[in-house]
Amino acid sequence: MTDVLGTHTTELSGRAAQLLRDLGADLPTPGALTARTPITGEPLLTLAATEADAVDAAIDRAATAFRSWRVVPAPARAALVRRLAELLVAHRRELAELVTLEAGKIRAEALGEVQEMIDVCEFAIGLSRQLYGYTMPSERPGHRLMETWHPLGVVGVISAFNFPVAVWSWNTALALVCGDTVVWKPSDTTPLTALACHALLRRAAVEVGADPEVHQLIQGGSEVGARLVDDERVALVSATGSVRMGRIVGPRVAARFGRCLLELGGNNGAVVTPSADLELASRAIVFAAAGTAGQRCTSLRRLIVHSEVAAPLLQRLTKAYRQLRVGNPLDDGVLVGPLINERGYGAMRSALDRALADGGELLCGGERVDGFGTDAHYVTPAIVRMPAQTEVVREETFAPILYVLEYQDFDTAIALHNAVPQGLSSAVFTRDQREAERFLAADGSDCGIANVNIGTSGAEIGGAFGGEKQTGGGRESGSDSWKAYMRRATNTVNYSTQLPLAQGIKFE
C-alpha cells in the first residue's frame, strides 16, 4: 500500500523490524497479536500472545529470582538500573522512533518519553542509598524502636498504550532497586516497544552480572493480564488504564489480599482567573489539551475561565488551534499526530455529538483530516463552549476535546473543577497569591496534582504521580512512591537485662 504520506506500509514494517534489531530484540514469532501503526493504520508486525501456562511460568521465574535478588544490597541492585539508563542514552533515538511508529507520538514527545525513562532511572539509582526507615524513642528503658523496609516480592506491571515505555520504567526502575522482580504485561496495542525495553533490560542484567530473570515480559489481551492479576505470587499489581479496568483489577487483587497501585482516568481541569497572564496561559493550555492528540491521562479537558477574560482567551486559543499542524508524526513541524485507532476516533465523534446536543458551541476543530489512509484517524483538536458541566463533560474522552465553562466567582470555579469523578491533575492560572494558595489548600483542588501557572500535563519524575477518586489513589515515580514496592517492619530491640512491658503493664 502507498498513500499520500509517501510512505509504503511495508517500509514502516521494515523500519520497525530494523529498530527492534538495533535495540537488541529478536523479531517476534508471528502470531495472532498484531502491532499496527496509527500513522497509516496498517500492520507493522504480528507476534504470538503468551499462553496461559507460559504466563504462569514467567511468574514462577520471577518469584524464584526474587529469592536471591532481595538479598543483594540495594546500591548493588542499582548497578542494573544504571546500566539500563546508559543503554537508553545510547539508543534514545531508536527507541523514540519505535514509540512514534507504534503509538503515533510526534518525534519531540517520543524523545521526551525516553528521556523520562532515563530521568527515573537516575532517580532510582540515588534512591538505592535512601530507603530510609525511622528510629523512634521507646517508652521502655534499654529498648530501641525502629522500622525497616524490605523487598516486597513480584511486581506485576500493566501499562497502557499512551506512554508505552515511560510508565513501565517508573515502576520497574523503582521496583528493581527496592529488591523486587517484575512481570510486565504491556498494552496489546504497543507490543513492539515492550520487546525493545525487555531486551535492553536483559542486556543490562547480563552486562552487570545480575540475574536476567528479574524481569519477565508477557504479551496479549485482557486474558493474559487476568492471570497476572489473580496470581497470589504477585505481591503488587501496578495497573495503568481506564476506570473500567480499575474496577475489575482492584477487587480481584484485594480478594487475595494483594496490593494494588492504580493509575486510572483523568478528567483534568484548569481555572483561568481575571489576573492571569493570558499569553502564558494560552501556551500552557494548547500543549496540555492538544499534545499527544489529547491521549494523555493528564491532558487538559475542562477549561474553567472567568467571564471577564473568556473572550480574549478564547480568541487566542482558537487562533492557536487553527495553526496546529496535524499530520504524520515522523514529519518535522507536526504538532499533533493520529489517534491510536478507530475506537478512539469513534469516542471523539460521539462525545462531540453529545456536547452539541447539550447546547455546546463548537468554536473550532473536530474534523477528520483525510489523506492518510482509510485506517488512520487524524483529527483537528476541538474547543467546545458549554453552557454547563453536562454528563459528557464529566466523562473522560481520550481525544483532543477541550470543554470551556465560564464562572463568576472563585468558589464557583473550584466547585466546578471538583465536580467530576476523576481527580488526577489540575491547574490554576492567576497572579493573585490568595487564589493560588486557595487552589492548593485543603478546600481547593481535590486532585493528586495541583499546579499554579503551568498546565496539567508534563509532570516531572521527582514528584509522586497519581490522583484521587476514580483515578485510583496510586502514586508512582518520585517522592516516597518507593514505599509501595516494599514492606515495612517495626522492630523493637531490647539491649537491657530487664523485660518491661509497654503501657506500664505488670505481668509478674
> Which residue in the list 297, 364, 396, 406 is annotated as catalytic?
297
Which residues of the chain fall short of a pLDDT of 50? 1-7
Rounded CA gap, 483 and 152, in Å?
Answer: 10
d(CA 500, CA 76): 40
Encode 386-416: b = buried (16+ Cβ within 10 Å), e = exposed.
Answer: beebbebbebbbbbbbbbbbbbeebeebbeb
Q: How far is CA 282 from CA 238, 288, 320, 404, 424, in A?
A: 35, 10, 8, 13, 21
- So where are the chain's domains? 50-264+472-488, 268-464
C-alpha 268/C-alpha 427 separation (Å) is 8
- The beta-carbon contacts of 321-327 under 8 Å, at least 24 apart in sequence, are 321/286, 321/290, 321/364, 321/365, 321/380, 321/381, 321/383, 322/364, 324/286, 324/290, 324/380, 324/381, 326/369, 326/378, 326/379, 326/380, 326/381, 327/369, 327/372, 327/378
CATH number of 50-264+472-488: 3.40.605.10
Q: Measure the N-to-C terminal CA separation of the chain; round to a whole number of Å.
A: 88
β-pairing verdict for 33-36 and 43-47: antiparallel
pLDDT at position 255: 98
Fold match flag (50-264+472-488 vs 268-464): no
CA distance 452 to 440: 8
Q: 195 Cβ partners below 8 Å, 6+ apart?
A: 20, 25, 26, 28, 47, 217
Q: Is 371 left (phi over 0), alpha (psi -120 to 50) or beta?
A: left
Nearest of 426, 411, 414 to residue 468 by alpha carbon: 426
Residue 263 annotated in active site: yes
Q: Which of 102, 263, 406, 435 is catalytic?
A: 263
DSSP assignment of 262-281, as one string? EE----EEEEE-TTS-HHHH
User: Helix 307-323 and helix 278-290: axis angle, to 10°?
Assistant: 50
157 φ/ψ angles, rounded to the nearest 5 degrees: -115, 120
Question: Please, are residues 121 and 77 in contact by the beta-carbon 8 Å criterion?
Answer: no
**pLDDT at position 9, please?**
60
Tell me, what DSSP letter sits at residue 420? S
* Catalytic site includes residue 297: yes
pTM above the 0.85 mark? yes
pLDDT tens, 375-391?
999 999 999 999 999 99
C-alpha span between 317 and 125 (Å, rounded): 41
Residue with cell 485506517: 375
Q: How many H helices and E strands in the chain?
A: 15, 23
Question: To 10 degrees, what angle do helices 74-90 and 191-208 make?
Answer: 130
CATH fold of 268-464: Aldehyde Dehydrogenase; Chain A, domain 2 (3.40.309)
Q: What is the pLDDT of residue 1?
A: 29
pLDDT digits (tens, 9 = 90+) for 33-87: 999 999 999 999 999 999 999 999 999 999 999 999 999 999 999 999 999 999 9
Work out the number of other CB atoms within 10 angstroms of the CB of residue 354: 16
